[in-house]
Structure 1
């Protein structure tokens, strides 16, 4: 099956494709809807392909995380008011695994990754089963860890990689082995 990807807010600088894609973010880019901060942003970079029904998407990411809120990972998107972004986000001087679920307003959950470094391979997997999305991650060769199980519409959508730098420009991220395929098993306690 050939996947056709398209850019949402194409970055000025990028190279590669779904097998390996490197990019440099634009100035003050982000995806966020209202909650807490009071603003709406939909200018982050995302490289997306259409999906319907149940599926799993995965990618391995590395980033040069230095500034507050530098972020890179996966995005599942219906439209500007309904999406999930997940991956590494730099906050409080530390890499965190982050999940933002947006249903017209955004929430934010983080898991601090003490001991993680910018050179680590972060594996991210997002799986949709009916109206639920499971988000998992693994650092280097560690086993998959559940980060979030969230309600989310099973409407037709797009999925792929995303990167943002709300406080600067030129955050650099590299994504490898972006895959979208059949959903993994529903057993939450199996890999």
Structure 2
């Protein structure tokens, strides 16, 4: 599977494969489109593989979060104006589970993770069912929490992992067990 992944904005340092990948970010890297800040950034690092149809992608992430907006997670991308990034983003001195959905312009939602530290492994799952994408996470307890359910084009795309450091260079992130496969069941609620 690793040979189908390619870099969008290769970082200055990286090593590994889908089993275990580590990277260090370049200076002032990010993905964002217009909303609130007025700028467009498409310089973040992303290691991506082609997908079509329905799928689920998962990864376990860790990062040395220190500076404002340090981030590591997953990306689903059709082009520079249609993409989703999700994972951990460091803001207000705290790790947050973050989802940015971009369909021409970006939006941003966050869930504060008060009990998380840089030692915390965060498990992320992104699932596409036709023109809907479900984003889920957990902090090692195995209970997936939904962070977002959003409309998104069912077009062929690329999916994988991403890391950015909008305020600095040198953020280090680690990704383990990167997998892309059949989608989980459409059922949203237990019981």
Same fold (TM over 0.5): yes
Q: Which residue of structure 1 lines up, in the alignment, with residue 160 of structure 2?
A: 160
State the secondary structure of the residue aligned to 2:105. coil
Pairwise CA distance, 1:56: 0.2
- In structure 2, what is the Cα distance between the partners aligned to 1:69 and 1:164? 8
Report what 2:187 is aligned to: 187
* Counterpart check, 1:67 vs 2:67: yes
SS at match of 1:114: coil
Q: Which residue of 2 aligns with 1:18?
A: 18
Taking the aligned partners of 2:188 and 2:128, their CA distance within structure 1 comes to 12
Separation in structure 2 between the aligned mates of residue 4 and residue 99 of structure 1, nearest angstrom:
25
3-state SS, counterpart of residue 74 of structure 1: strand
**In structure 1, what is the equivalent of residue 58 of structure 2?**
58
Shift of 1:119: 0.6
What displacement does 1:58 show? 0.2
Partner of 1:84: 84
Mind listing any 5+ residue stretches in structure 2 that lack a counterpart? none
RMSD of aligned C-alpha atoms?
A: 1.0
Compute the displacement of 1:141 (Å).
2.3
- Correspondence 1:108 to 2:98: no
Question: What is the distance in 2 between the residues matched to 1:115 and 1:60?
Answer: 17
Shift, 1:39, TM fit: 0.2
Number of aligned residue pairs: give it. 190
- Contact (CA 8 Å) 2:83, 2:103: kept in 1 or not? yes
Aligned to 2:98: 98
Residue-by-residue CA offset, 1:44-77 (whole Å, 9 max, x unaligned): 0000000000000000000000100000000000
Say which SS state the counterpart of residue 107 (structure 1) adopts.
strand
Q: Aligned equivalents of 1:125 and 1:140: distance in 2?
A: 13
| Separation of aligned partners in 2, 1:179 and 1:142 | 17
Q: Deviations over 1:97-131 (max 9, x none)?
A: 00000001000000000110111110000000000
Cα distance in 2 between the residues matched to 1:115 and 1:78: 34
Structure 1 stretch displaced more, 139-148 or 176-185: 139-148
